[in-house]
């Protein structure tokens, strides 16, 4: 209890701190607390470090490229795979998938993957093309080689440069949006309106469960924020990229959800092939033409690959920023002399994701990704309240309205979605947080600029 009271007091001190009316000096270390754990870094110093020629990234991204990055990350495994899972609901609880999509949009606007799974068979033995561990048991496979190869190719592309990566992502986004539109037309002709009744069979509890499952798909927009240092005009273009990608993707998700659940009853997607690839399954069973199914499968594959591209991009940039703040080894913030990309971070991220991708299935990663992102959004929402209180006069090109009410609603909704996840997911989350805390205790805190020297 004394430890808990101490932490509460630290947060109260932050909120009670007198407002800053002038811009802090970029050369100073701002200590908002006597405890190193609650110290905050100067925003001006952060900006000045980003302009350091030795570690400066190439600024090549505009609003359209940033929006495409968000769409590329958001429309991936979720719209083609997790849509059916959320419709059926974990533990056979049936949420309203349409309501769940809109609920997730609200959460993300207020807040202001996984492993590579291939929908079609390739000419490889099953032991070299399926996960080693799936749904809590060994499968007898050796390694999912296609998953690793895809990550490796994307890593090479990311090392080559952000412009090349963005151009490749733009092409993949165009392909998968075209595939989705074809599905809406072809699937719309196969809709049976009786499948929409009952519309929300499990009530609001089912909506929350569906939202928690599908939230995994929406975390892609957060990758746009990691591109701030490579945006030509981040203050203007980042809000456009984040909000634009959310609006476009939510419209597409709602459209796919309505059509898919009109084609087949939600109970169809509880298990088996229908749960693994709901879109492809529904088209095949209802007799859609071979060419339309082929185009949609290609779009699904492209969607997943573009999601992986953006997430790998974001992970490398996060490690780059942490290394620059001395929370990670300096190796992670080294920039390639020719390509101006954090190449070491990118390669390490490639192998850190590629090897597990060859071992584990997406079902074991999706929920863990959900709860981690929701928790991060809770912290960001708290940060908005604290920063608005402590630095009210700081110039903000984009300003979150109705503070503190919007962030507080975001905290409540994100926390509510977290409660809809399973106990095993919470257990994995606690273990994951513990590992991160160990890294901080034994490495980061001793090298941080706030550490005692």
- The DSSP code sequence of 196-234 is G-SSSTTHHHHHHHHHHHHHHHHGGGHHHHTTGGGBSSH
In angstroms, the CA 38 to CA 258 distance is 46
| Residues 157 and 164 sit within 8 Å (Cβ to Cβ) | yes
| Residues 155 and 347 sit within 8 Å (Cβ to Cβ) | yes
pLDDT at residue number 347: 95
3-state secondary structure of 133: strand
Which residues, 6+ apart, have CB-to-CB distance to 9 below 8 Å? Answer: none
pLDDT at residue number 130: 79
pLDDT at residue number 4: 46
Flag whether the pTM goes above 0.75.
Answer: no
CA distances (Å), origin 14, targets 17, 169, 298, 385: 5, 41, 51, 10
In angstroms, the CA 131 to CA 117 distance is 9
| Domains parsed from the chain with CATH numbers | 29-447 (1.20.1740.10)
Handedness of CA 178, 181, 185, 191 (dihedral sign): positive
DSSP helix, strand, coil percent of the chain (3-state; round to 5): 70, 0, 30
Helix 234-263 to helix 278-285 angle (10° resolution) is: 40
pLDDT tens track of the chain, all 453 residues? 444 454 445 445 544 444 443 344 434 555 556 666 667 777 777 777 666 666 678 788 889 889 998 898 888 756 776 666 666 654 334 444 444 444 445 444 444 433 333 333 444 677 777 788 776 778 888 888 888 888 999 999 999 888 888 888 899 999 989 988 998 999 999 999 998 888 877 777 777 777 766 766 677 777 788 888 888 888 888 889 988 998 998 899 888 888 988 998 888 887 777 777 788 888 888 888 888 888 877 887 888 888 888 888 888 988 988 888 888 898 998 988 888 889 999 999 999 988 988 888 766 666 667 688 788 889 889 988 988 888 888 887 778 888 889 999 999 988 887 887 778 888 888 998 999 889 888 888 888 777 655
């Amino acid at each position: 209890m004394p430890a808990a009271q101490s932490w509460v007091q630290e947060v109260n001190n932050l909120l009670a701190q007198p407002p800053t009316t002038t811009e802090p000096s970029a050369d100073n270390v701002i200590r908002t607390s006597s405890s190193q754990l609650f110290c905050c870094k100067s925003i001006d110093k952060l900006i000045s470090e980003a302009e350091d020629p030795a570690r400066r990234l190439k600024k090549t991204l505009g609003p359209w490229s940033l929006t495409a990055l968000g769409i590329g990350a958001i429309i991936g495994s979720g719209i083609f795979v997790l849509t059916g899972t959320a419709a059926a609901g974990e533990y056979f609880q049936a949420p309203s998938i349409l309501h769940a999509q809109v609920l997730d949009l609200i959460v993300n606007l207020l807040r202001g993957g996984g492993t590579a799974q291939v929908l079609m068979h390739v000419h490889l033995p099953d032991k070299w093309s399926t996960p080693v561990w799936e749904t809590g048991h060994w499968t007898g496979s050796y390694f999912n080689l296609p998953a690793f190869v895809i990550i490796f190719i994307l890593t090479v592309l990311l090392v080559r440069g952000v412009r090349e990566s963005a151009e490749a992502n733009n092409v993949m986004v165009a392909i998968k949006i075209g595939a989705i539109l074809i599905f809406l037309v072809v699937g719309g002709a196969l809709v049976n309106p009786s499948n929409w009744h009952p519309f929300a069979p499990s009530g609001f509890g089912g909506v929350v469960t569906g939202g928690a499952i599908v939230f995994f798909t929406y975390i892609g927009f957060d990758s746009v924020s990691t591109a701030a240092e490579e945006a030509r005009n981040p203050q203007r273009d980042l809000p456009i990229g984040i909000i634009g990608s959310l609006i476009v993707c939510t419209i597409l998700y709602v459209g796919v959800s309505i059509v898919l659940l009109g084609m087949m009853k939600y109970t169809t997607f509880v298990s088996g092939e229908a749960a693994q690839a709901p879109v492809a399954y529904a088209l095949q069973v209802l007799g859609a033409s071979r060419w339309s199914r082929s185009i949609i499968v290609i779009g699904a594959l492209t969607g997943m690959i573009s999601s992986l591209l953006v997430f790998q991009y974001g992970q490398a940039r996060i490690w780059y920023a942490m290394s620059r703040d001395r929370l990670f080894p300096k190796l992670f913030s080294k920039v390639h002399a020719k390509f101006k990309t954090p190449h070491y971070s990118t390669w390490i991220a490639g192998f850190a994701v590629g090897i597990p991708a060859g071992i584990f299935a997406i079902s074991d990663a999706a929920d863990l990704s959900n709860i981690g992102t929701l928790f991060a959004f809770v912290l960001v929402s708290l940060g908005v309240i604290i920063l608005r209180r402590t630095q009210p006069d700081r110039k903000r090109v984009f300003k979150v309205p109705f503070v503190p009410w919007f962030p507080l609603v975001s905290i409540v909704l994100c926390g509510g979605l977290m409660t809809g996840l399973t106990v095993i997911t919470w257990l994995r989350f606690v273990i994951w947080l513990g590992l991160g805390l160990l890294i901080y205790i034994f490495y980061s805190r001793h090298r941080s600029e706030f550490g005692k020297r």
